[in-house]
Amino acid sequence: MPGLNKVYIKGSLKDSVVKNLRNFTLLLVVILLVLIIMPSSSVVAQEEKTVKYAYAADINTLNPFYWTTVADLDLLRIIYDTPFRIGPDGMLHPGLVESYEFKNSTYIVFRLVRNATWHDGVPVTADDLKFTLEFVRDHTLPYLGSVGEALNIIEKIDNYTVGVKLKYPFSPLPLVMADIFLVTPKHIWEKITNPQQFANPNPVGSGPFKFVERKTGEYILLEKNTKYFKGAPKVDKLLLKIIPSLDSQVLALKSGELDMIEIQPGPIVRDLMSTPNVSVMTAPSTYIYYVDFNLRRYPMNIRDFRKAIAYAIDKQQILNILLLGMGRVADSLIVPSLPLWYNPNVTKYNYDPKKAKEILDNLGFKDIDNDGFREFPNGTKFVLNMPTANVDIWPRLTELVANMLEAIGLKVKITPVEPGTLIDILLNKWDFDINVFGWRLYFDPDAYIYESFHSSRIRKGGLNWSGYSNSTVDKLLDDQRKAVNIEERKQLLFRVQELLADDLPWIPLVYPDMIFAVRTDTFKGWVAIPRYGLRNVYSWINLRPAIEVITTPVYITPSPILTQTTTQIATATPVSGIPLEIMASIIIIVIAVAIIVLIMRRR
Amino acid sequence: MSKVIYYILSKSFYLLLIFYIMLTLNFLLPRMMPGDPTSRYVAEGMSLEEREELIKIFGLDESLYTQYIRYIINVFKGDMGISFLYYPSRVWNVIIERLPWTVLLLGTSIGLSMIVGVILGSYSAWNYGKKFDSIVTMGSLVLRTVPSFWLGMIFLLVFGYYLRLFPLSGSITVGVRMGVFERILDIIKHLMLPVFTLMAYLIAGNIYLVRASLLDVLPEQYIVTAKAKGLKNRTILYKHGLRSGIIPVITWFTLQFGYIVSGAVLIETVFSFPGTGKLIYDAALARDYPLLQGAFLILTATVLIAMFILDLIYAILDPRIKKD
Amino acid sequence: MIDISTVKHTLIDIKKFIETFIRRKKGFIGFIIIMFFILTAILAEYIAPYDPYKITGIPYSPPDSNHILGTNDLGQDIFSETIYGARISLFIGFIAGLSSTILATIIGIIAGYYEGIISRILTGLMDMFLVVPGIPLIILLAVYLGPGIWNIITVITILSWAPAARVIKGHALSIKNRPFIEATKALGASNMRILAKHILPNVLPIIFANSILRIVDAILLEAAISFLGLGDPRTKSWGTMLYFAQQRGAFSTGAWWWILPPGICISITAIGFSLIAFTLDEIFNPRLESISWR
């Protein structure tokens, strides 16, 4: 066959060429492997005075009005200022607003500081505060909707004074403004035509650090605002790295690539505690984990039944096992990290399984058929339907609680579903008996406690999914919203907490702490406040290079002695997208060549 | 000639029909999931009124019919809309940020495992029954049955955590200035563990296929003739054997491309690799309808194009194949 | 028409079959492996030192005299978890594998035997399921159906029937085209009869070997689904153990005692079934034992 002969001759020539190619490829691969395994010798000298910490997910937007996630808010709170602040003591402190006064229960006067400027140099004036308030009033913003509803007329009294007329008394206003209300520059935002979809790529705020640049999915770089009204920060830059894997974050902290990370309770805490030059700090969170009931169903609607369950739960064990002791056993439904409102003197239910069993016996729930579980008083099988989210700590938390309930003879059916479905079950379908959930309170407890326990909030999609209705509590909740006098409001909220602890629509379980790990050899001066932990304006101003030991954290206006140098420090240049595509094409070309080689060999 | 055109046209029509059905399913399925895109904000304390406003912003307050019409029109305009999860980023931007990584990961894995698989499978078939064959067959069996994500975890534990040879996650080292060459090495370093993990499974499949189809082909007459003619083993193997035996492998290879967009979600989870697989997973959990629709669109299109190319290849390679 | 002699013949056939099977080394090993795990699953209560749901130790502790494989993040014994895990994983594997095979057989045979619209629709359905990538389908299905063993089984069945159906269809088609089928039809036999008496028995060997592979698929799919968190975290399958290992930081502590056992069990079980499947394939579809001209 002539064709075969031709192939044979051609084959031998091709063979030798191909052989050389193969050897060459092999050599290339070996060289590449060696280069890769070699530790990178050319690590860029890290910026002096750049504080590096990590986010687990990238931010979505820098829009101070239309942010939706916690990551967005955290970053925005660096670039923008809030009118007030909550200090490490949990108390209200001045921010951009240096003083405020309720002239009557529906009229407040705010006085701004006079030396604040926007990052573009324009001074911060009453126009900006007025603009921001009006924007909040005229749009239903995510999270600020209830504030917007209460605002009526905003008037500029003078260049640094604003008068706010409310539609009705709204006591949460100052604390909400210390939390999520960001003052925005009028001269920029009045020109924006579609503020909703505007991603605000070059944000101009008045905060201690200004935005420099951002590489999506990689990092965000900020530099100090030397004209910050409370004094310039002592560090030059903030670099937020996006590192989704918590393990990588820990490794980066240990190797010095990060200066601060937030961690979850687990064996990593012990590990970091024993790492040199690393210190573990806990900060009061405003988290609370609790058990909630569907009060529409029997027997959850019987107070004694709920009390029995409260006695059956060993909160200390939950704290020890799941949180490694980092937190506190919970008593009230408002968290102790908000000292303005927390009432420690509520009825407590200690771990007492014997008492729990007694109560259940008295209620008629006995184990008649000796299967180990109690039946309804009328003898039918009794199973508690307990849906839970199947992510994070929830399956484990639910399992622990279910075990404790089964220990007193209550059969529990846990239905783990993914979070979206759980919300549907709880808020829309009301198809559950008992559930474990958690909240992260704002500085002002109103949004949480009003929405969860006021009877008007029992509606499909509403947050009172338990169906709790108590007219005394309703009145107290309405009154505390109107009580602009802090002492008066405090008493009202104290009473609410007492009643809730007696009624037990929810059983508070634990108050988990936030846990951070910081390097002690790079920067000092981290300050912790409730809800935001170490990431707050006090830290940003107080952080300084760790040249000396500081005994007490300073959170009041830092001394104006400036220690920063004036040497030029190169900016971290963004990696352009091009090498990435080149890389991809190179590899694909290599593969394609290899395939072609292979095909050629078959000829 | 017209027969070929008819074939291509009928296949195209068939594929377009499937495409339209998938589009509609694409629209309906996410909306049938319980909950809505604002469910994830409940735990952050968003009140009902605020969530309703957000629903309006997302454009979900209109009737299903209106939304469907708008969706179909936008598909033909090429407008994928704005993501809910990453609001206000556009869906296209969100996907295009991650797609190159997934393509890189899967392209490299599929390509390399093709080469290695074909070589190993060929030699294995050639040495049927001998020690080489047994070792390769057993080895590929093990590789195929080890759960890929678990293998990834083991690699990570051994090479990343204990030996510190490779990074623990991500596709690049962030926030550090690097030159182009260094950056390329950095990327390769981050790629290696995920690629090896993926390759383990793919190589096994390739070896099995190549070996099986070669075993069918090799004993045939024309091979015996070639051997009698005194051709080198390698030539027989590759030129004659593989030529027919390659068809199932090409089928497998082309079908793999359909998996590119979503297939690596397990690996991406283990290695926190910023690809589109994990994106689809996150979008589903967050009920991000536009993002889900956009990703599925690309996915479906990729798969259908792959199928189409496959049919074309069949038509070209083997005109004997019946077209019915 | 079942009588004593038919039963006797069948029993002898089965005995001969088992003998042939055991004689092959691969099949034997596979058989032993599977028997080992099945026994473990059945006798779990007796073998496991602890109730895997009870907290019996300090969380995250490495193996010691009390806990051979250490404890997980809650303090439950991992060795016990692994033993009970066999029960769940095998159960899901068997049932899902079985239902997948049944579905594939029904659709495959009908698609292969009948021509025209029915065949085209079914083949189209097959193609669609072949082509739709698994992971998004898993996610959507898992979200709709929710967790729970039966839902997982349903998801696995829906995902894995298509490739097998294709193979079965091909075989059914080739059998259908054989002359003796034409003859039988000409003699007036009904379709049902042909299907039952001729097609099905001839396809059975293929199905048999294939069904074992479906079990392998099911076990691996269950692991993947659970690992993504879409399974049922309450049931302690091997996949769920790995899910918690990943979620609860087994990694950052280097808790190899938590990561290794479930994965090894999954692998070995899958290998066992695969070996059985290969041996069955060899028995029913013998190839040339050697390439003679070499």
Amino acid at site A216: T
What residues have CB less than 8 Å from A586, skipping those under 6 apart? B184
pLDDT band at C81 (very low <50, low <70, confident <90, very high): very high
More confident residue, A361 or C129: A361
Asked if pLDDT for residue B316 goes beyond 80, the answer is no
CA distances from A600 to A11, A14, B278 (A): 10, 8, 38
pLDDT for the residue A206:
95
List chains touching A (3+ CB pairs under 8 A). Answer: B, C
Please list every residue in chain A whose beta carbon sits closer than 8 Å to the beta carbon of residue B179: 42
Catalogue the long-range contacts made by A518-521 (C-beta closer than 8 Å, 24 or more residues apart). Answer: A518/A259, A518/A260, A518/A278, A518/A279, A518/A281, A519/A253, A519/A256, A519/A258, A519/A259, A519/A260, A519/A277, A519/A278, A519/A279, A520/A277, A520/A278, A520/A279, A520/A546, A521/A277, A521/A546
Answer whether C171's CB lies under 8 Å from C204's CB. no
Domain with C249 in it: what CATH number? Answer: 1.10.3720.10
Count of other CB atoms within 10 angstroms of residue A468? 22
Find which of B19, B106, B153 to mutate to test the C interface (most C CBs within 10 Å of its CB): B153
CA distance A163 to chain C (A): 50
Chain A CB within 8 Å of residue B227 CB: no
Which residues does chain B have within 8 Å of residue C230's beta carbon, measured at their own beta carbons?
none
The answer to whether A243 contacts B170, with C-beta atoms less than 8 Å apart, is yes
Number of domains in chain C: 1
What dihedral angle (degrees, nearest 10) is formed by the CA atoms of A385, A391, A395, A401? -80
* Per-residue confidence (pLDDT) for residue A430, from 0 to 100: 94
pLDDT digits (tens, 9 = 90+) for C155-170: 889 888 888 888 888 8
Contact residues, chain B, for A244 at CB < 8 Å: 169-170, 272, 274
Which chain A residues contact residue C251 at CB under 8 A?
247
pLDDT, tens digit, for every residue of A493-509? 999 999 999 999 999 99
* Cβ pair A416:C253 closer than 8 A: no
Categorise residue A554: left if φ over 0, alpha if ψ from -120 to 50, beta otherwise: beta
Q: What is the pLDDT of residue A596?
A: 65
Each residue's pLDDT tens digit, C12-55: 777 777 777 777 777 888 888 999 999 999 998 888 899 888 88
Q: Are A412 and A405 in contact (CB under 8 A)?
A: yes
Tens digits of residue pLDDT in B186-224: 898 899 999 999 888 888 888 888 887 777 776 665 666
d(CA A478, CA A492): 10
Q: Do A602 and B243 touch (CB under 8 A)?
A: yes
Instruction: Determine the residue of chain C that is closest to A398 in CA distance.
Output: C234
pLDDT in tens, B37-50: 998 888 888 888 88
Q: Fold identical between A51-284+517-544 and A290-512?
A: no
Which amino acid, one-letter code, is at B165?
L
More confident residue, B234 or C64: C64
Across-strand partners of B82? Answer: B90
Q: Quick count: other Cβ atoms within 10 Å of Cβ A403?
A: 16
Query: What per-residue confidence (pLDDT) applies to A563?
Result: 20
Measure in Å the smallest separation between the Cα of B284 and chain C Cα atoms: 7
> How many B×C Cβ pairs under 8 Å?
125
Tell which of A60, A428, A586, A596 to mutate to test the B interface (max B CBs under 10 Å).
Answer: A60
Touching partners of B (3+ C-beta pairs < 8 Å): A, C
CB-based contacts of A386: which residues, under 8 Å, 6+ apart?
A398, A402, A412, A413, A414, A415, A432, A433, A434, A435, A436
Which residue of B219, B284, B307 is in closest CB contact with C143?
Answer: B284
CATH architecture under which domain A290-512 falls: Roll (3.10)
Q: What are the φ/ψ torsions at residue A84 (nearest 5 degrees)?
A: -125, 175
Tell whether C8 is covered by a domain. no
C185 is a domain residue: no
C285 in B contact zone (CB under 8 Å): no
Q: Do A583 and B184 touch (CB under 8 A)?
A: yes
Q: Determine whether the interchain pair A415/C233 forms a contact, defined as Cβ–Cβ distance below 8 Å.
A: no
Q: What is the mean pLDDT of residues B131-155?
A: 87
| Band of pLDDT at residue B236, cut at 50, 70 and 90 | low
Q: Which of residues 19-78 of C touch A (CB under 8 A)?
A: 53-55, 59-60, 73-75
Q: Which residue of chain B has the CA closest to A50?
A: B175
Which residues on A lie below 8 Å from C147 (Cβ)? 390, 415-417
Weakest-pLDDT range from B22-36, B95-109, C39-53, C190-204? C190-204
From chain B, the residues in CB contact with C262 under 8 A are: 150
Cβ distance C139 to B280 less than 8 Å, yes or no, reads yes
Residue C254 in contact with residue B183, Cβ under 8 Å? no
Across the interface, do C232 and A416 touch by the CB < 8 Å criterion?
yes
| B43 in A contact zone (CB under 8 Å) | yes
Fold of domain A51-284+517-544: D-Maltodextrin-Binding Protein; domain 2 (3.40.190)
Shortest Cα distance, chain B CAs vs residue A451, angstroms: 7
- Between CA C294 and CA C289 the distance in angstroms is 12
In percent, the amount of chain A with pLDDT more than 90 equals 64
Q: Which residues of chain A have pLDDT under 70?
A: 1-25, 28, 31-48, 548-603
Domain that includes residue C140, residue range? 21-165+205-291
Q: Is the peptide bond before A123 cis (omega within 30 degrees of 0)?
A: no
Note the pLDDT of residue A150: 93
pLDDT reported for residue C160: 85
Q: What token pair was written down for A50?
A: 């750049």
Residues on A contacting C at a C-beta cutoff of 8 Å: 246-247, 250, 264, 266-268, 271, 321-322, 390-392, 395-396, 399-400, 403, 414-418, 420-421
Residue of B nearest to A73 (CA): B44
Three-state SS at C286 = coil
**Contact predicate B81/B278, CB 8 Å:** no
Domain boundaries, chain A: 2-44+554-602, 51-284+517-544, 290-512
Opening angle at CA C168, ends C167 and C169, nearest 5: 90
Q: Which residue of B has its CA nearest to C213?
A: B145
Residue C270: pLDDT band (50, 70, 90) is very high
User: Residue B182's pLDDT is what?
Assistant: 85
Q: What gap in Å lies between CA B79 and CA B74, rounded to an integer?
A: 5
Q: Is the pLDDT of residue C291 over 70?
A: no
Can you tell me the mean pLDDT for B282-297?
Answer: 88
C 235-274: CB under 8 A from A: 244, 247-249, 251-253, 255
Phi (first) and psi of residue A545, to 5 degrees: -60, 145
Question: Which residue in A106, A203, A213, A176 sits closest to A573, CA to CA?
Answer: A213
Residues B52, C44: Cα–Cα separation, whole Å: 51
- Among A590, C209, C34, A217, which residue's Cα sits nearest to residue B104? A590
